[in-house]
Structure 1
Amino acid sequence: MRGVISILSLMVSSPLFVLGDNGFPSLPPGFHNDLDDVSVSAGYFHTCAIEARPGQDFGGTLKCWGDNKHGQSDPPEGTFVQVSAGFYHTCAVGIDEQVKCWGNKKHIGHVPKGLFTQVSAGEFHSCGVMKDGSVVCWGANHFNEATPNSGDFVQVTCGSSSTCGLRQNGLVECWGKNDMGQSDPPANKVYKQISSSLNKHVCGVEHDTEAVSCWGSNIREQSEPQEGPFQQVSAGAFSTCAIREDQTVLCWGAHQPIPHISMQGDEDLVYDQISLGMDHACGVTADGDLHCWYTGSDHGAHNVPLGFSVA
């Protein structure tokens, strides 16, 4: 309920807002980032991505690399449309709209049945958005991180013992651990995409200004606000990266994992998606090429398989 009054005041001057069935102002369908474009995910020390296949227009098979001590880099067979790499486990939505998870069994928990539009793997828990807009969670629940708020959402993102969801009206609600303010989003901001890190901070692209604002831990300045316009943001362990309107990348925080020097100076190199892990980041170019770079020991999570093309 927090932030509703401030958002209602926007309805007077903005034709974008209509009254939803729940009495809250809602944004038109498609206001949020298309989550079907999430084809690569950088986990703690591993990476998973959906590989393009000739003759296959939508989705693809999964490949993972990097740390595999818990089987988090051993994806199942099948065709998938969205993937999320967490701490020691990974989850993905199949073309049949079912969710599959693999890796540390204690972290995975019991994956619920049903049809999903999106999934997010956190540190020790996971959550997904069902086709009816509700959120379900599974895995660890020590701080109620796997006890979602009721109602409809368009995106969910899991972090370290906390979860945030993006409502149909662009407002963010969070639940779970809040020792660093990671579950206390701004009450008066409307977002089109959000991203939780595995280290207690969350960032989002604001709907109107397309600036990036963050909440939670800021000990390495990873939560400093950035003026837009941006298209997408990804929160890493101690840093954050976002894609500008011209599709170039801006990073800030402790490590600032900007693209590797070998990729700099190429004016034609632009990105459609970016994802941050613990010590590495991966970006998908407009041509479907996948580039990863690292700032420390990432267990080979930046070593993209030769000839890999993102779906």
Structure 2
Amino acid sequence: MRSSMRVVLVGLLVALAVPAGVGTAGAVFTATTSSETQQAGTATLPAVDGAQATRTPDGTADLSWTTPIVRTDVAPDYTIERAIGDDTTTLTPDITADSGGTTAGFTDDLTTPAEIEGKPVTAVTAGGFHTCAIADARAYCWGWNAYGQLGNTTTDSSVPVAVTGLDDPVTAITAGWAHTCAVTDAGTAYCWGLNGGGQLGINTTTTNSAVPVEVAELDNPVTAITAGFYHTCAITNTAHCWGYNLYGQLGNDSTENSSTPVAVTGLDDPVTAITAGGYHTCAIASTDPSAGIAHCWGNNSDGQLGNNTTTSSAVPVEVAELDNPVTAISTGLYHTCAIASTDPSAGIAHCWGNNSDGQLGNNTTTSSAVPVEVAGLDNPVTAITAGDTHTCAIASTDTSAGIAHCWGYNGYGRLGDGTTIDRAVPVDVDVEIGVLGRNWTCAQEDWQLIGDPDDPEPQACAPGPNIPVAYRLAYTKAGWESPNTSVTTMWSDDQ
């Protein structure tokens, strides 16, 4: 009489918890066999031996076991299930075994993709061909990087990258044509990038820097800083500027360059804001702090001084046709923008000067020697910055939302919307594209992040220390088979 047997082992539950799992060897099964002549018998086989499971810090689990020696000429056919809480999954792992096929195991990846939780953007600044921002007290930059102006020693980037070397929280940031500067909460000023005009303020014009370096000869604390085309300005107790000075943009009634800070003349204290453009500079200053009067000096070829002329000035002149108080101001290559309103809570954005790429944001490309209102921004506008030929602002009806908008020329992706299309009206910065505003989090309760939450690369999550993970293993010997085989398993958990 010829008979065949189908053998099925169902039987191992290994509960895992960080840092290591435990094994069990007490599971057994009962197999029922049927012969071709319907004469039946029973057989009992032992469970696998030495089962072990170990969790690893990278979110994986290593499993191993020894399969009983039954029909060594036939490889076992495994069925494996994994349970994480109420979620059960059938696995098809790549199982490795020794030459005899008895000792086997595999590595299980427990991770799932992390999700992105936004960080509020607290400051944004537009440079020549790059843009920078502060999110969660850290500095980020994106765009052109030929001179290290992104501050992370990398090449160009169309998505935000973190600036390296600033250990203290960053409170202010400004982007020039090819250099960038920032102030930390200690009141110390740093600059990086191109230094051909002495704009880094380190008493030399021969050394560029792809990482932040401290500005020399500035009394701390620095309360504000701004980077222009080839010059930089800051506020300590008074206004200071340094770098290139062909058009009098340093504001000290001269046209001589300076690689260290010099005091600006002709401004009534206190100076509450300062901004350096292509070859011009602007500031907010008034003996009445609530008045907020805007002043500009330097090159005025396109009306960027805002005084309804095109005459340059080596000393400050007052901007015309702006409702006081002016609460913020920023200068681009040949244009200037400000926030001004008789109602300080309204926060209305205005721009003036060159508009060849739509950088004034009024849905035209017509230049203006007096301020014009930016279109399409929900008030209040809380921050604004003018770059080479583009502008960015933070504006939202919900002041806690911190939504960034940019407009104008979009070469190198400087508008941050994931395209290179020029915009004559504001568009939202897409924080989902780059690291800016990213904070990797785990959607599942009690799962933990594997990796750095600020890393721009996608992160993963794995079950945390309080979450058990269970595996259930079964195998068959395919050589024992019969169309009439029925199998009943008995589950035993001996942990």
TM-score by length of 1: 0.61
Indicate the residue corresponding to 2:167 in structure 1: 114
Equivalent of residue 353 in structure 2, options 249, 253, 260: 253
CA-CA distance at 1:127 after TM superposition: 1.6
Query: Structure 1 stretches of 5 or more lacking a match?
Result: 1-52, 61-79
Q: Which residue pairs with 2:281 in the alignment?
A: 202
Structure 1 residues 92 and 187: CA distance shift in structure 2, 3 A = same
Q: Given residue 232 of structure 2, which amino acid in structure 1 is its aligned partner? A: T
**Structure-2 residue corresponding to 1:163:** 232
2:198 touches 2:244 (CA, 8 Å); kept in 1?
Answer: yes
Within the alignment, does 1:239 sit opposite 2:335 as a pair? yes
Greater mean deviation of Cα atoms: 104-113 or 136-145:
104-113
Rounded Cα–Cα distance in structure 2 between residues aligned with 1:133 and 1:55 = 30
The aligned residue for residue 128 of structure 1 is 182
Question: What is the CA–CA distance in structure 1 between the aligned matches of 2:285 and 2:190, rounded to whole Å?
Answer: 25
Give yes or no for the alignment of 1:142 onto 2:142: no
> Structure 2: which 5+ residue stretches go unaligned?
1-114, 154-163, 202-214, 252-263, 308-318, 365-372, 438-495
Of structures 1 and 2, the larger Rg is shown by: 2
Distance 1:117 1:267, change over 3 A: closer
Q: Specify the alignment match of 1:274 in structure 2.
A: 384
From 411, 415, 421, give the equivalent of 1:300.
421
Alignment of 1:177-216 (within 5 A): 177-184=244-251, 185-189=264-268, 190-197=270-277, 199-207=278-286, 208=288, 209-216=291-298
Contact 2:351 2:374 in 1 (8 A): no
Superposition deviation, residue 269 in structure 1: 4.9
In the TM superposition, what is the alpha-carbon distance from 1:121 to its structure 2 partner?
Answer: 2.0
1:151 is the counterpart of 2:219: yes
CA distance in 1, matches of 2:226, 2:429: 30
Specify the code of the residue in structure 2 equivalent to 1:172. A
Q: Is the 8 A contact 2:279 2:299 kept in 1?
A: yes
Identical pairs, percent: 27
More strand by share: 2
Question: How well do the aligned residues superpose, as a CA RMSD in angstroms?
Answer: 3.8
Give the deviation of 1:146 after TM superposition: 0.7
Partner of 1:70: none
Could you tell me how far apart the structure 1 residues matched to 2:196 and 2:431 are? 39
| Alpha-carbon distance in 1 for matches of 2:338, 2:296 | 12
Q: Distance in 2 between matches of 1:94 and 1:270?
A: 20
Q: How many residues align?
A: 233
**Is the Cα–Cα contact under 8 Å of residues 147 and 179 in structure 2 kept in the other structure?**
no
Hey, which of these two has a bigger chunk of helix by percent?
Answer: 1
2:391 is aligned with what amino acid? A
